Amino acid sequence: MTTLDDLWEGDMESFQVGDREILLVHLEGGDVIATQAICPHQQIELVEGELKNGELMCKAHLWRFDLKTCTGINPGHARLARYPVKLDGDSVYVDPEGDTPKIAHS
């Protein structure tokens, strides 16, 4: 899908994999997280949000997510999809069938 050379720590990028839009995040500290590219709240690209200390904040209504657990910080009921990631050397592989995008209202 990509390599760690192209996705530095603290970076995120979205990819189309089959019919899924996936957001790949390289957290500071080294973890690589694959989640849904679209906010569970409304149709906003999460890649345009702000990434800080493992938290992702959507730019639209400032929902915040803990990327290590793919759960909402505010609101706490929100969830993000979490797709399995495999690292092979520098290469990053994601299984787009490993989860489904989550949707949450209000």
Residues that bind ligand FES (CB under 6 A): 39, 41-42, 44, 58, 60-61, 63
The set of residues, in sequence order, having a beta carbon less than 8 Å from that of 97 and lying 6+ positions away, is none
The set of residues, in sequence order, having a beta carbon less than 8 Å from that of 83 and lying 6+ positions away, is 20, 22, 34, 35, 94, 95, 96, 98, 99
As a whole number of angstroms, the distance between CA 7 and CA 3 comes to: 7
Specify the residue, 48 or 90, whose C-beta has the smaller distance to ligand FES: 48
Question: Computed over its alpha carbons, how large is the radius of gyration of the chain?
Answer: 13
Specify the residue, 24 or 58, whose C-beta has the smaller distance to ligand FES: 58
For the bound state, the minimum distance from the C-beta of residue 30 to ligand FES, rounded and expressed in Å, comes to: 27
Specify the residue, 67 or 92, whose C-beta has the smaller distance to ligand FES: 67
For the bound state, the minimum distance from the C-beta of residue 61 to ligand FES, rounded and expressed in Å, comes to: 3
For the bound state, the minimum distance from the C-beta of residue 35 to ligand FES, rounded and expressed in Å, comes to: 13
DSSP label of 9: T
As a whole number of angstroms, the distance between CA 76 and CA 25 comes to: 21
Specify the residue, 37 or 85, whose C-beta has the smaller distance to ligand FES: 37
For the bound state, the minimum distance from the C-beta of residue 81 to ligand FES, rounded and expressed in Å, comes to: 14
